[in-house]
Amino acid sequence: MKHIKVKNYHEEYKDYKTEKQWAKIGFKIKDNATGVELWQNQFCNSTFIYYSENEVVKMSDSEFELYKKERNKENYEKYKIRKKEKEKEEKREAYLKAYNTLLTSWQWLYHCHREVLENAEPILNDDNNFYYYRETETIEISEERFEELKLMYVEKYGGWEKIDLENTIYNGKKWY
């Protein structure tokens, strides 16, 4: 078994940095650098390769500008993904709050990207004769599964964005 040290417990590694840490201050790793694998902290969740100042060289101004441009682009992409996920979650929570977490199978799919479990028991609403499911009887699904179920729904019942409740044969139960 390989013995790996914890970076912040060993004085000899106090000035070592990861490639990303060096890049942030304008240095790049030399081609022949090997670095040393160390635990990030005493919890031993992650190891990284750390490099000494002998294993790095200063970036040129153009290299550093290119690095900053790429880092900003990556950060912006991550920000957009986080923002989209947050908006999706806020929309889902608002919808659930408004409808007291009892939704038709279509509503779970359309609004929350959730699939009703196979053994889920639908609850009939006598006021409108639609069947509803609790959130605990659903699971979050991938984008691919969402598209698959959406296609199945459209093939069986027609519309997707707007449903003609007066003329549809859909009753709230799952169709898959």
Q: What is the pLDDT of residues 52-89, one digit of tens each?
A: 999 999 999 999 999 999 999 999 999 999 999 999 88
| pLDDT number for residue 43 | 80
Place 97 in a pLDDT band, splitting at 50, 70 and 90.
Answer: confident
**Per-residue pLDDT at 50:** 97
**pLDDT of res. 126:** 85
Q: What SS3 string covers 91-117?
A: HHHHHHHHHCCEECHHHHHHHHCEEEC
Q: Which pair of tokens denotes residue 170?
A: 């859909």
pLDDT 10s digits, 99-133: 667 999 999 999 999 999 999 999 998 888 899 99
Higher pLDDT, 88 or 145: 145
The percent of residues above 90 in pLDDT, for the chain, comes to 71
Q: Strand 36-39 vs strand 5-6: parallel, antiparallel, or unpaired?
A: parallel
What are the angstrom distances between the C-alpha of 22 and each of 26, 32, 41, 48, 113?
6, 16, 18, 13, 41
- The model's pLDDT over 18-33, given as tens digits with 9 standing for 90+, comes to 999 999 999 999 999 9
Which residues are CB-neighbours of 157 under 8 A, at least 6 positions away?
163, 168, 169, 170, 175
Which pLDDT belongs to residue 3? 80
Q: Whole-model pTM?
A: 0.49
Crossing angle for the helix pair 143-157 and 105-112, nearest 10 degrees?
A: 140
30: tokens are: 């030399």
Confidence of residue 98 (pLDDT cuts 50, 70, 90): low
